[in-house]
Amino acid sequence: MKLFTNLPGNLRVLFGALRFLVVCFALFWFLNLTFNSWIEQRFMDEPQLIVAVGAVSWGVVPDAIKLQSDSAKPGAIRLNNLCGSLQMNLLSKDTAMVSALRWTMYPSMVVSITFAWLLFTSLRSVCANVERGEVFDEKNLRLVRGIGLILIVYSLSSAAVGLWAHHVMGGYLTQHVVLTGLAVPGGTGGLQFIEPSGPFLFPGFGGLITGCLVLMLSEAFRQGLQLKAENDLTV
Amino acid sequence: MPIRLNLDQVMADRGISLTELADRVGITLANLSILKTNKAKAVRFSTLEALCRELKCQPGELLEFVKEK
């Protein structure tokens, strides 16, 4: 397959493109949050910048919403809770909401953009080195170790950001938001913030395990570097 | 390096050029040059065997131990 003829070169181009997309994404949001917001607030009566905040769920009073099946007995299938995605207006005049929204969105965006850029830059550099024939050398060893550490730190950071977002947005929803039109336990409250939305690359334990695997790979690189050093200038 | 390869002397005695020897031994000219200028860190037995076969000599004629001062 032509794809595998020059795999390092093709991957270098791919990671370069992904890095460029991360920069475009960051630029898009920077412009959206600055100029677009300024234009909306200056020229529009009701400025709007609707953003996806994350997923919410709420418990359902038993039998408030019934599920019927033509094959199972009544009561065999029950709806426990409902989930949905939450959207908010970032340019709302409600300062409490906007503050909660900013404290939820901005940390996750900064973490995602920073680590994505670092990761794709490192991957691109590794592919460029391998394409030049420089596989087992100090530069590549440092890059591969760096990639492993980036993945581990990113996964821990995104978990921390998720907890923080859960605390901030969950607090706002609990204090200021009521749900109407649906029978939920505990009256009209009970809206829970599950997780923030965002371009998380490797959410959860995936990033942690992948990072550990990459660190193990860097150990293989280190031993390869030792073997290469022994074999250099051996005729 | 205390171990020296007296390749240039043996080649001159046999009247064989670097290019011809590299072809016969089956290594690149660059590697043979590394051997000749004593820049090599190690020599494989297979390379030593090929050199001795083509130069019709013993390993002791090629290799010499020189004490470092």
**ipTM, interface predicted TM-score of the complex:** 0.82
The DSSP call for residue A35 is I
Interface of chain A against chain B, CB under 8 Å? 230, 232-235
Helix (H) or strand (E) holding A93: none
| Structure confidence at residue B12 as a pLDDT band (50, 70, 90) | very high
Residue A71 confidence (pLDDT) above 70: yes
Backbone φ and ψ of A132, nearest 5°: -80, -5
CATH class of the structural domain B3-65:
mainly alpha
Q: DSSP 3-state assignment of A72?
A: coil
**Domain parsing of chain B, residue ranges:** 3-65
pLDDT tens for each residue of A119-175:
999 999 999 999 998 899 899 999 999 999 999 999 999 888 888 888 888 888 888
The token pair at A58 is 């709420």
CB atoms within 10 A of CB A129: 18
> What is the tally of structural domains in chain A?
1
Beta bridge partners of A81: A59
Structural domain boundaries, residue A214: 2-231
Q: Is B48 on the interface with A (CB under 8 A)?
A: no
In percent, how much of chain A has pLDDT > 70? Answer: 87
Burial class (CB in 10 A: 0-12, 13-18, 19+), B53: exposed
**pLDDT of res. A82:** 80
pLDDT tens for each residue of B41-68:
999 999 999 999 999 999 999 999 988 7
Distance from CA of B58 to the nearest CA of A (A): 18
Distance from CA of B23 to the nearest CA of A (A): 14
- Measure the CA angle with vertex A112, ends A139 and A219; round to 5°: 30
If you search the block for the tokens 């031994």, which residue do you land on?
B25
pLDDT tens for each residue of A77-108:
887 778 888 888 888 888 888 888 888 888 88
| Buried/exposed code over B13-43 (b: 16+ C-beta within 10 A; e: otherwise) | eeeeeeeebbeebebeeebbbbbbeeebeeb
Chain B neighbors of A232, CB-CB under 8 A: 41
C-alpha to C-alpha distance for B69 and B63, rounded to whole angstroms? 19
Distance from CA of B10 to the nearest CA of A (A): 18
8 Å CB contact between A47 and A40:
yes
Chain B neighbors of A230, CB-CB under 8 A: 42
Chain B neighbors of A233, CB-CB under 8 A: 34, 39-42
Distance from CA of A231 to the nearest CA of B (A): 8
How does the average pLDDT of chain A come out, rounded? 83
Helix (H) or strand (E) holding B24: helix B18-25
Residue A195 confidence (pLDDT) above 70: no
The verdict on a CB contact (< 8 Å) between B27 and A235 is yes
- Position B66: which residue type? V
Count A/B contacts: CB-CB distance under 8 Å. Answer: 22
CB atoms within 10 A of CB B60: 8
**pLDDT of res. A14:** 93
| Total-model pTM | 0.76
If you search the block for the tokens 């605390």, which residue do you land on?
A167
**Strands, E assignment, chain A:** 50-59, 81-89, 191-196
